[in-house]
Amino acid sequence: MATTKIHAIYTDDDLLMQAVKQTRAENYYISEVYTPFPVHGLDYAVGLAPTRIAITSFLYGLVGLSVAIWMMNYMMIEDWPQNIGGKPSFTFYQNMPTFIPIMFEMTVFFAGHLMVITFYMRSRLWPFKKAENPDVRTTDDRFLMEVDAENHNVEQLTQFLYNTGASEISLITNEQDH
Amino acid sequence: MSSHYEAPIREPLVLGEKSYHDISVDVGAPVLGKANKSWWIVFTIALIAFLWGLGCIIYTVSTGIGVWGLNKTIGWAWDITNFVWWVGIGHAGTLISAVLLLFRQKWRMAVNRSAEAMTIFAVVQAGLFPIIHMGRPWLAYWVLPLPNQFGSLWVNFNSPLLWDVFAISTYLSISLVFWWTGLLPDFAMIRDRTNSPFQKKIYGILSFGWSGRVKDWQRFEEVSLVLAGLATPLVLSVHTIVSFDFATSVVPGWHSTIYPPYFVAGAIFSGFAMVQTLLIIMRKVSNLEDYITVLHIEYMNKVILLTGGIVTVAYLIEYFIGWYSGIPYENYTYLSFGAATGPYWWAFWALIICNLIVPLTLWVKKWRRNIAWTFFVALIINIGMWFERFDIIVIDLSKDRLTSSWAMFQPTFVDIGTFMGTIGFFFVLFLLYARTFPVIAQAEVKTILKTSGEAFKRLRAEHGDDHSHVQHVEEYPAEAGPAANTEGKHFVNSFGPDEPAEDAVDFVDQDVRQREINQLLAVVGTFDPAVETQDNLQRITGIGPLMEQKLHQVGIFTFDQISRMTAVEYALLKDIISEFPGNGERDDWAGQALMFKNEK
- Tens digit of each residue's pLDDT (9 = 90 or more) over A138-149: 998 899 999 998
Helix (H) or strand (E) holding A9: strand A3-10
Q: How many CB pairs under 8 A join A and B?
A: 219
Cβ neighbours of A20 in B, within 8 Å: none
Coil/strand/helix, residue A3: strand
Could A112 and B188 be called an inter-chain contact, meaning their C-beta atoms sit closer than 8 Å?
Answer: no
Cβ neighbours of A89 in B, within 8 Å: 158
Q: What is the pLDDT of residues B347-399, one digit of tens each?
A: 999 999 999 999 999 999 999 999 999 999 999 999 999 999 998 899 888 88
Cβ neighbours of A168 in B, within 8 Å: none
Residue type, B472: H
Helix (H) or strand (E) holding A70: helix A53-72
Could A48 and B166 be called an inter-chain contact, meaning their C-beta atoms sit closer than 8 Å?
Answer: no
Average confidence (pLDDT) over B479-492 = 40
Question: How much of chain A exceeds pLDDT 90, in percent?
Answer: 57
B528 vs B170 pLDDT, higher one: B170
Residue of B145, B188, B222 lying closest to A131 (CB–CB): B188
Could B227 and A116 be called an inter-chain contact, meaning their C-beta atoms sit closer than 8 Å?
Answer: yes
- pLDDT value at residue B495: 40
- pLDDT value at residue B330: 80
Among residues B494, B456, B488, which one has the least CA distance to residue B472? B494
Among residues B386, B369, B377, which one has the least CA distance to residue B77? B386
- If you ran DSSP here, which 8-state letter would residue B344 be given? T
The dihedral region occupied by A11, where left means phi > 0, alpha psi between -120 and 50, and beta the remainder, is: alpha
- Going from the C-alpha of B455 to that of each of B106, B200, B420, B459, the distances in angstroms are 17, 33, 45, 6
Could B212 and A138 be called an inter-chain contact, meaning their C-beta atoms sit closer than 8 Å?
Answer: yes
Cβ neighbours of A122 in B, within 8 Å: 219
- Is residue B507's pLDDT more than 70? no
- Is residue A114's pLDDT more than 90? yes
Q: Does B154 touch chain A (CB under 8 A)?
A: yes
Average confidence (pLDDT) over A75-84 = 85
Terminal alpha carbon distance of chain A: 8
Residue of B153, B163, B223 lying closest to A115 (CB–CB): B223
Of the listed ranges A51-60, B218-227, B400-409, the least confidently predicted one is B400-409
- Is residue B515's pLDDT more than 80? no
Of the listed ranges A28-32, B425-429, B507-511, the least confidently predicted one is B507-511
With CA atoms as reference, the chain B residue closest to A107 would be: B230
- Is residue B23's pLDDT more than 60? yes
Among residues B194, B118, B3, which one has the least CA distance to residue B382? B118
- pLDDT value at residue B525: 81
Could B209 and A113 be called an inter-chain contact, meaning their C-beta atoms sit closer than 8 Å?
Answer: no
Fold that domain B2-147+157-450 belongs to in CATH: Formate dehydrogenase/DMSO reductase fold (1.20.1630)
Residue type, A73: N
Average pLDDT, chain B: 85
- Angstrom distance (rounded) from CA B335 to CA B349: 15
Of the listed ranges A86-100, B342-356, B408-422, the least confidently predicted one is A86-100
Average confidence (pLDDT) over B98-126 = 92
Residue of B145, B189, B223 lying closest to A119 (CB–CB): B223
pLDDT band at B590 (very low <50, low <70, confident <90, very high): confident
- pLDDT value at residue B500: 40
Average confidence (pLDDT) over A102-122 = 96
Cβ neighbours of B196 in A, within 8 Å: none
Nearest chain A Cα distance for residue B186, angstroms: 8
Residue of A48, A113, A139 lying closest to B214 (CB–CB): A48
**B382-401 in b/e burial notation, b at 16+ Cβ within 10 A?**
bbbbbbbbbbbbbbbbbbbe
Coil/strand/helix, residue A146: strand
Strand partners for B366: none
- The CATH 1.20.1630.10 portion of chain B extends over 2-147+157-450
- Angstrom distance (rounded) from CA A118 to CA B81: 39
Nearest chain B Cα distance for residue A126, angstroms: 4
Could you report the predicted ipTM of this complex, rounded to two decimals? 0.94
Question: How much of chain A exceeds pLDDT 70, in percent?
Answer: 97
Cβ neighbours of A119 in B, within 8 Å: 181, 219-220, 223
Average confidence (pLDDT) over B149-160 = 82
- Is residue B496's pLDDT more than 50? no
Question: How much of chain B exceeds pLDDT 90, in percent?
Answer: 47
Could B24 and A140 be called an inter-chain contact, meaning their C-beta atoms sit closer than 8 Å?
Answer: yes
Q: Does B144 touch chain A (CB under 8 A)?
A: no
Angle between helices B37-63 and B108-133 (to 10 degrees): 20
* A30-34 and A168-174 beta bridge pairing: unpaired
Q: What is the pLDDT of residues B305-324, one digit of tens each?
A: 999 999 999 988 888 888 89
Q: What is the CA radius of gyration of chain A?
A: 26
Strand partners for A143: A10
Among residues B78, B72, B45, B131, which one has the least CA distance to residue B414? B78
- pLDDT value at residue B501: 39
Angle between helices A100-122 and A53-72 (to 10 degrees): 140
Sequence-ordered strand ranges (E) for A58-142: none
- Going from the C-alpha of B523 to that of each of A122, B563, B577, the distances in angstroms are 57, 11, 17
- Is residue B494's pLDDT more than 60? no
- Angstrom distance (rounded) from CA A167 to CA A9: 6
Q: What is the CA radius of gyration of chain B?
A: 28
Q: What is the pLDDT of residues B203-244, one digit of tens each?
A: 999 999 999 999 999 999 999 999 999 999 999 999 999 999
With CA atoms as reference, the chain B residue closest to A43 would be: B214
| Cβ proximity of A30 and A44 under 8 Å | no
Q: What is the pLDDT of residues B522-545, one digit of tens each?
A: 888 888 777 777 888 888 877 877
Cβ neighbours of B241 in A, within 8 Å: 101
Average confidence (pLDDT) over B416-439 = 94
- Angstrom distance (rounded) from CA B455 to CA B461: 10
Coil/strand/helix, residue B153: coil
- pLDDT value at residue B151: 67
Cis peptide leading into A88, omega within 30 of 0? no
Q: What is the pLDDT of residues B542-587, one digit of tens each?
A: 787 777 877 887 888 888 888 888 878 887 777 777 666 667 777 7
Nearest chain A Cα distance for residue B296, angstroms: 22
Determine phi and psi for A144, rounding to 5 degrees: -115, 125
